[in-house]
Amino acid sequence: MKILSCFLFLWLGTTGYSRSQDLSGTWEGRVGGELLKLVIIKAGNTYVGYTYHEGSGYCKANFMGKFNERSRQVKGANPSFIDKTFGHALCTYDLKFTPRAAGRYLIGFAHVNEAVLQEFDMYGARGREIILKQAGANTDTTEYMAAWLEMNVNQTNKVVQNRKPDTLNTVSPLPISSPPDLNKKAFNDSLTAVKTRRTADTLRTIITAADSIVITIEDNEVVDGDTVTVFHNNEVLVSRLFVSAHPYRIVVLLKKEIPVHEFVLVANNLGSIPPNTALLTIEAGKERYQLKAASDLTKNAVILFKIRQ
C-alpha cells in the first residue's frame, strides 16, 4: 500500500540536554523497496517541511512538528497533501532520534490516519516500521513552509514593535534580521550548491532579440514523479516543481545588459523512470522551440539565451 508517503506532523518537544539537537536536513529510507523522504528545517522550537514517498506512485505532503530532546522522541501527524497519486493516506508517526556510528537515524512506526484505509492496512495497530537516515543537512522549501515561517515571524515582530523602550538604555538597538529572508537565502544557497556540484549539459544556445521569453514545462510522455528546481542566472525561479501533464508556465525577462542568460533545470529526484525528463516549449519573440530536457543527480540540463545586438 502507498499509505506511507504522506505527511508527518512531528511533535518533537523540550530540551533535556546541555546542547540542543538540530534535526534540520533531509532524511531518507526505503520501506518495502520504495523511497521515503522527510525534509525538515528548524524554526525556533518547531520544525516545518514535507515528506515524499515514491514507488509505483508518489505522494508529497506538508510537514510540521516538534521534537522532545529529553526522550529523543519524534511524534507526528500529516496536516495535508501537496500532490499524490491514488492509494495514499495521511499518517501519524512515532519515531525516535537514534545516533549511530553509521549516521543519524529516525526509527519508529507509521500509522494510517484514515479509517477506511486502516481496514486494509496489514500492519494493524503496530503500524509500519520506518527507518530514516539523515542524508545531509541541506534542505529545500515549499509554499507551505514559507507561509508558515512568514506568518509566525510576523507575530514575533509585532511583539517586538509593541515593546516599550528601555529609558535606561542609551545604545541604539541593532537591526533585526528577518528569519524568512534568512531561511529563504539558506534554501536558495543549498540549491545553488547542488547545482554547482553537477556538470552542465547544454541542450541548445538560442540567439534572440526578444526582451522576454516564455518557457512551459511539462512531463515528457509518462508522469513518473519527477521534480526539478529551475534557475535563471543562479536565481531560483521555482523550487521542487512537480513535472506533470499540466504545463507550468514561466516568464523570464532578458536584460539587454546581460549578454548571455542561463536557464538551468536541476533534478531533485529521478522519478520512477530515470532520468528526470521534461518537455520544454520556449517562446522567444516570434520564434518557438521544443526541447526534451534530461537531467540526473550528476548533470543539469542547460539552455543558453544570447542577446542579439
Q: What is the pLDDT of residues 78-89, one digit of tens each?
A: 677 888 877 777
pTM across the whole model = 0.45
Q: Residue 174 pLDDT > 60, yes or no?
A: no
- The per-residue pLDDT for range 270-292, each reduced to its tens digit, is 877 889 999 999 999 899 999 99
Query: What pLDDT is recorded for position 152?
Result: 63
- The per-residue pLDDT for range 14-62, each reduced to its tens digit, is 333 335 688 888 899 887 778 888 888 877 667 778 888 887 678 888 8
307 pLDDT band, cuts 50/70/90, is very high
Query: What pLDDT is recorded for position 156?
Result: 42
Amino acid at 184: K
Instruction: Strands of 32-100 (E only): list them.
Output: 34-43, 46-54, 58-65, 67-68, 73-77, 81-84, 91-100
Q: Is 197 helix (H, G, I), strand (E, B) or coil?
A: helix
197-307 folds as Immunoglobulin-like (2.60.40)
Query: What pLDDT is recorded for position 51?
Result: 82
1 pLDDT band, cuts 50/70/90, is very low
Q: What is the mean pLDDT of residues 167-185?
A: 44
Q: How far apart are CA 293 and CA 172, in angstroms?
A: 54
Q: Length of the chain, please?
A: 309
Amino acid at 49: G
124 pLDDT band, cuts 50/70/90, is very low
Q: Angle 179-197/143-162 helices, nearest 10 degrees?
A: 150
- The per-residue pLDDT for range 136-149, each reduced to its tens digit, is 887 777 777 777 66
Name which of 290, 297, 289 is nearest 226 in CA terms.
297
Question: In Å, how far from its chain's centre is CA 173?
Answer: 35
Q: Cell match 516545518: residue?
A: 48
Three cell numbers written together for 34: 520504495
Q: How far apart are CA 298 and CA 267, in angstroms?
A: 9
Q: Is 232 helix (H, G, I), strand (E, B) or coil?
A: strand
165 pLDDT band, cuts 50/70/90, is very low
Q: Residue 171 pLDDT > 50, yes or no?
A: no
Helices in the chain by DSSP H: which ranges? Answer: 115-118, 143-162, 179-197
34-43 and 73-77 strand pairing: unpaired
Q: What is the mean pLDDT of residues 218-225?
A: 81
Domain residues of the chain, as ranges?
Answer: 25-143, 197-307
